[in-house]
Amino acid sequence: MERLLDIKDAAGFLNVSEMSIRRWTNSGKLNCYRVGGKRERRFRRSDLEEFLHDSQNHSLKPLGIGDHKVPDGSHMTHFYSGSEDALRVSIPYLLEGIEREEALLVVMPPDRSRDLLDDMKQQGHPVGDWLKGGRLSVSAGMDSPEEMIRYLAGFAVRTQEFRVLGDMIWTVRKGWDLAALSVLEQAPTLMPPVENGLLLCQYSLEDFSGAAIMMAAEEHRQTIYKGRLEKSPYYAHPQ
C-alpha cells in the first residue's frame, strides 16, 4: 500500500510553504485525503507529481534579481554585507512586485526603511504615491513573534498577490532573542493558508551571530548570497 505523505512532506516535495499547500487543497487545486479524528491532510505522491507537472510552467515568480524565479509561496533569506549589498537585492525585488501589481510590505527599523525609500525616490520611483495608494506598506515590526505572525497573516489574506521584505535587524532592535526569532521564521507554516505571495528575510552578516545565521539557513529553503539564488544545504525540513 502506498504511504500517504503529511502536509510537511507535501510542502517539501513541491518546494513550497505549508500555507500554499493548505490553500491549494481548500480550493480543490490539489487532491488530498482527510484522515483521523482531526481530519488531517494526507497526500499521494502520484497526485503531487501530477500537480507539479501541471503547474511547473506557470507557477514560478520572478524575483527581480537577475533572471531568478521561485515557486509561489517561497520563503527565502538574503545574507548581505553592508547597506549597498542589501539594497542591490531589496530594491529590484520590490520593483518587480510593483511591476506585477503585487501589494508590498517592508518590515525594517525606521532608519533603514527611510534609507531604502529615499534610494528608491532618488531613482525616480513614485514611492509617495505607492504609500498613499496602499500598494506599499511599511512596518517597524511587532513586539512579539505571535503579534508579528498575526500581522503578517492579516496582510496576506487582505491581498490578491503580495511580497514581503524584512530586514531582520528589526527583531534585534525589539530585543528579541534567538528563540523568538526562530518562532517567527516558522511563520509561513503557522499562518492561515495563503498563496500568491513571496517572503524574503534579510540578514546582515555583520550584525547577526553565527547561531542566528545558521538558524536562518535552516529555516529557509532558498538563500541569496552575492546575487546567487541557491537551495540551502542546511534547510532543516527536507522532503
Cell, residue 19: 500555507
Closest C-alpha to 162, from 72, 222, 102:
102
Closest C-alpha to 135, from 116, 160, 115:
160
- Higher pLDDT pick, 28 / 120: 120
Q: Cα–Cα distance between 106 and 164 in angstroms, integer?
A: 6
Provide mean pLDDT across the span 201-218: 97
Q: Cα–Cα distance between 83 and 162 in angstroms, integer?
A: 24
Q: Based on the domain organization, do 105 and 172 belong to the same domain?
A: yes
Q: Based on the domain organization, do 30 and 103 belong to the same domain?
A: no
Q: Look at residue 127 and tell me whether its pLDDT is greater than 60.
A: yes
Domain count, the chain: 2
Task: Give Cβ neighbours of residue 96 (< 8 Å, ≥ 6 apart).
Answer: 62, 63, 64, 163
Q: Based on the domain organization, do 128 and 29 belong to the same domain?
A: no
Q: Based on the domain organization, do 94 and 23 belong to the same domain?
A: no
By the 8 A CB rule, do 227 and 103 touch? no
Mean pLDDT lowest among 3-12, 13-22, 187-196: 187-196
Position 239 scores a pLDDT of 45
Position 195 scores a pLDDT of 66
Crossing angle of the two packed helices 7-14 and 45-55, in degrees rounded to 10: 30
- Higher pLDDT pick, 164 / 17: 164
Convert the pLDDT of each residue in 138-173 to its tens digit. 999 999 999 999 999 889 888 889 999 999 999 999
Q: Cα–Cα distance between 147 and 107 in angstroms, integer?
A: 14
Q: Based on the domain organization, do 15 and 66 belong to the same domain?
A: no
Range of the domain at 13: 7-55
Q: Based on the domain organization, do 23 and 72 belong to the same domain?
A: no
Convert the pLDDT of each residue in 46-96 to its tens digit. 889 888 766 654 568 899 998 898 888 889 999 999 999 999 999 999 999
Is 2 within a domain? no
By the 8 A CB rule, do 18 and 188 touch? yes
Convert the pLDDT of each residue in 187-204 to its tens digit. 765 554 456 889 999 999
Q: Based on the domain organization, do 75 and 14 belong to the same domain?
A: no
By the 8 A CB rule, do 202 and 57 touch? no
Residue 215: φ, ψ to 5°: -60, -45
Mean pLDDT lowest among 38-47, 175-184, 192-201: 192-201
Position 193 scores a pLDDT of 46
By the 8 A CB rule, do 48 and 59 touch? no
Q: Look at residue 2 and tell me whether its pLDDT is greater than 80.
A: no
Report pTM.
0.76
Position 54 scores a pLDDT of 65
